[in-house]
Amino acid sequence: MTQPAQDLPPIPAPLTQPESDFYWEKCKANELWLRHCKSCDQAYFYPRDICPNCFSRDTDWIQSSGQGTLHTFSIVHRGPTPVFRDRVPYIAAIVEVESGARIPTNLVEIEPDPALIKIGMAVEVVFQQLDDNINLPMFRPAS
């Protein structure tokens, strides 16, 4: 049985960048926001000023519904670093949200059993507080 996360040493927090400060501020409020390109009308992840689809700088922010679908996943049985070794098995995933934006994340609140996890399943965002500055968005099966 996997140890409860609160009994484990913390995972390394993401290093925030000026381009993503707004994103992390909204995550602290348990809101998921995406960058959006006004030229090609695509949302994208990770947050950056230049659209990866058309390279426009005419971008803004949109609030995600937090609803998405599981694009792909992998059940991790060997942690890449000591802090992750005690967490296995866990589910590394890519979730697709508004207009095809894909977020690398973890799938949580489901057993890491490939018979239970389905590509395309509906998922919803949940936030895990890492420290005073970072609430990390993760996804669970939609209720």
Q: How far is the CB of 40 from Zn ion (least distance, A)?
A: 3
Report the residue number, 30 or 39, with the smaller CB distance to Zn ion.
Answer: 39
Report the residue number, 52 or 89, with the smaller CB distance to Zn ion.
Answer: 52
Which residues are near Zn ion by CB under 5 A?
A: 37, 39-40, 51, 53-54, 56
Q: How far is the CB of 68 from Zn ion (least distance, A)?
A: 20
Report the residue number, 50 or 110, with the smaller CB distance to Zn ion.
Answer: 50
d(CA 136, CA 141): 17
d(CA 72, CA 84): 20
CB atoms within 10 A of CB 7: 7
Report the residue number, 39 or 129, with the smaller CB distance to Zn ion.
Answer: 39
Q: How far is the CB of 103 from Zn ion (least distance, A)?
A: 18
